[in-house]
Amino acid sequence: MDPSQVQSAEFAQFLAQEEQRAKVGEMVIKITNVCWDKCITSTPGSKFSSSESSCLSNCARRYMDMSLLIVKRVQNMQ
């Protein structure tokens, strides 16, 4: 096989992988942003209370649930 062809296929794979990584990173930033507002209502202390940390976990899971629901809902409209 042509070596440049191998390289470009490998490079495309690298790009796809990095794109995926960047999307995951963006998602974490986004969810932390909205869940911080929902869950951390008082001035930040020296550690999270147990209700704050469980709120953050629940909030992240519900955000994912919601995203799925929205995708389904919008798909049904088409």
Q: Which residues bind another protein (CB under 8 A)?
A: 3-4, 7, 11, 14, 18, 21-22, 25-29, 31-33, 35-36, 39-40, 43-46, 48, 53, 56-57, 59-61, 64
Judged by beta carbon, residue 57 or residue 66, the one nearer another protein is 57
Query: In whole angstroms, what is the distance from residue 70 CA to residue 63 CA?
Result: 10
Judged by beta carbon, residue 72 or residue 78, the one nearer another protein is 72
Judged by beta carbon, residue 1 or residue 77, the one nearer another protein is 1
Q: Phi then psi for 20, rounded to 5 degrees?
A: -60, -45
Q: Tell me the CA distances in angstroms from 23 to 1, 5, 29, 48, one per residue in order.
A: 33, 27, 10, 27
How far apart are CB 63 and another protein at their closest, in Å?
A: 9
Residue 52 DSSP class: H
